[in-house]
């Protein structure tokens, strides 16, 4: 997999340094680790689809573990949805997981397609964790992780058949990010994005969306900003799926679990009032 040196430091701004420092110092975050321990796939995103009400029944002593396992299943279902939209991939193809976290979706992509995966993260801890997981799985020559900025990956121009971001674009400037993804993709290559975005129609950012921003130290973009940045960089949407209603059950179940953090009600309020949308966007490089 051809790489070059990034043209700028990995951490460019005080904001990026603060985000990286958060993940580098919160190594024992209970939600992602507990859910990942179910099957060794560690996600850094949320879930979609209805949950099985049976998890709330049965012995009280094992109820929370059943909820944890079900939350993980919903998160993996969301990742599978991303993979469903990457298009036909082969073991010869190179792909990029931009904002790869602890590597969950990268390993799922390699397992499904046999493709070569590069993941980039601005958290050295996440890169080290995912790299160790790849070595443990015996995929170190096929699934690699780099301490790189998704805005300047150092990967070769036109070298990617597919690129995806899974709940990471709220931490970056969309114009810069989509310009880099367009540079990396071969002609006709596929970009897939799953993201939460504010609803332009409601006019401004709601209190619930602002609370989500504050909780995660992110900058949620309006829905229109995604399509403007895609168009400006030759990325043509082929599929746009509103997953908002499908996202609600995950948060309802998580609110009843031991890993609830208090932000669950903000997500539920924002989704139910329509001020926040959860979208999957698949776009081809033209």
pLDDT digits (tens, 9 = 90+) for 197-256: 999 998 778 999 999 999 999 999 999 999 999 999 999 999 999 999 999 999 999 999
Copy the structure tokens of residue 160: 């990617």
pLDDT digits (tens, 9 = 90+) for 95-104: 999 999 999 9
- Could you give the C-alpha distances from 6 to 124, 125, 145, 168, 180, in angstroms and in order? 16, 19, 15, 20, 12
**Residue 36 contacts by C-beta under 8 Å, 6 or more apart in sequence?**
42, 43, 72, 102, 104
Kindly report the backbone phi and psi dihedral angles of residue 189, in degrees, each rounded to the nearest multiple of 5, phi listed first: -65, 165
Q: Which range among 13-17, 20-24, 49-53 shows the weakest confidence by mean pLDDT?
A: 20-24
**Residue 39 contacts by C-beta under 8 Å, 6 or more apart in sequence?**
72
pLDDT recorded at residue 5: 58
pLDDT recorded at residue 23: 87
Please state, for a pLDDT cut of 70, what percent of the chain lies above it: 97
Asked if the model's pLDDT at residue 1 lies above 50, the reply is no
pLDDT recorded at residue 4: 57
**Residue 58 contacts by C-beta under 8 Å, 6 or more apart in sequence?**
66
Confidence of residue 37 (pLDDT cuts 50, 70, 90): confident
Torsion sign, CA atoms 127, 186, 114, 40:
positive
pLDDT digits (tens, 9 = 90+) for 162-202: 999 999 999 999 999 999 999 999 999 999 999 999 999 98
Asked if the model's pLDDT at residue 27 lies above 90, the reply is no
pLDDT recorded at residue 233: 98
CB-count exposure of residue 183 (10 Å: 0-12, 13-18, 19+): middle
Helix H or strand E segment including 19: helix 14-25
pTM of the shown model: 0.94
Tell me which residue of 262, 268, 263 sits closest to 249, measured CA to CA.
268
Asked if the model's pLDDT at residue 154 lies above 90, the reply is yes
Contact call for residues 280 and 86 (beta carbons, < 8 A): no
Q: What is the spatial distance between Cα 268 and Cα 274, in angstroms, rounded to a whole number?
A: 10
Cα distance between the two ends of the chain: 23
Copy the structure tokens of residue 18: 């603060």
Q: Strand (E) positions, 82-220?
A: 94-98, 116-121, 143-147, 160-166, 185-198
* Average of per-residue pLDDT values in the chain: 94
Contact call for residues 104 and 41 (beta carbons, < 8 A): yes
pLDDT recorded at residue 257: 94
Copy the structure tokens of residue 158: 């036109």
pLDDT recorded at residue 270: 97
């Amino acid at each position: 997999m051809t790489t070059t040196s990034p043209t700028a430091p990995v951490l460019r701004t005080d904001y990026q340094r603060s985000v990286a420092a958060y993940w580098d110092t919160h190594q024992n975050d209970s939600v992602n680790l507990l859910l990942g321990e179910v099957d060794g796939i560690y996600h850094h995103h949320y879930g979609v689809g209805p949950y099985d009400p049976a998890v709330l029944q049965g012995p009280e002593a094992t109820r929370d573990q059943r909820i944890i396992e079900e939350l993980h299943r919903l998160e993996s279902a969301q990742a599978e949805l991303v993979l469903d939209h990457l298009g036909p991939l082969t073991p010869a193809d190179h792909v990029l997981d931009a904002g790869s976290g602890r590597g969950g979706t990268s390993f799922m992509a390699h397992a499904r397609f046999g493709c070569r995966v590069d993941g980039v993260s601005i958290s050295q801890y996440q890169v080290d964790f995912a790299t160790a997981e790849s070595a443990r799985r015996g995929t170190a020559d096929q699934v690699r992780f780099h301490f790189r900025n998704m805005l300047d990956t150092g990967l070769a121009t036109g070298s990617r058949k597919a690129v995806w971001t899974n709940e990471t674009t709220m931490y970056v400037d969309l114009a810069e990010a989509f310009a880099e993804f367009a540079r990396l993709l071969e002609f006709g290559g596929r970009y897939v994005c799953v993201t939460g975005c504010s609803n332009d129609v409601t006019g401004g950012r709601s209190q619930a969306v602002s609370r989500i921003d504050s909780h995660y130290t992110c900058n949620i973009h309006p829905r229109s900003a995604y399509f403007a940045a895609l168009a400006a960089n030759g990325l043509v949407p082929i599929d746009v799926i509103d997953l908002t209603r499908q996202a609600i059950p995950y948060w309802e179940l998580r609110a009843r679990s031991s890993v609830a953090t208090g932000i669950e009600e903000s997500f539920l309020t924002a989704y139910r009032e329509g001020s926040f949308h959860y979208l999957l966007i698949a776009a081809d490089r033209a």
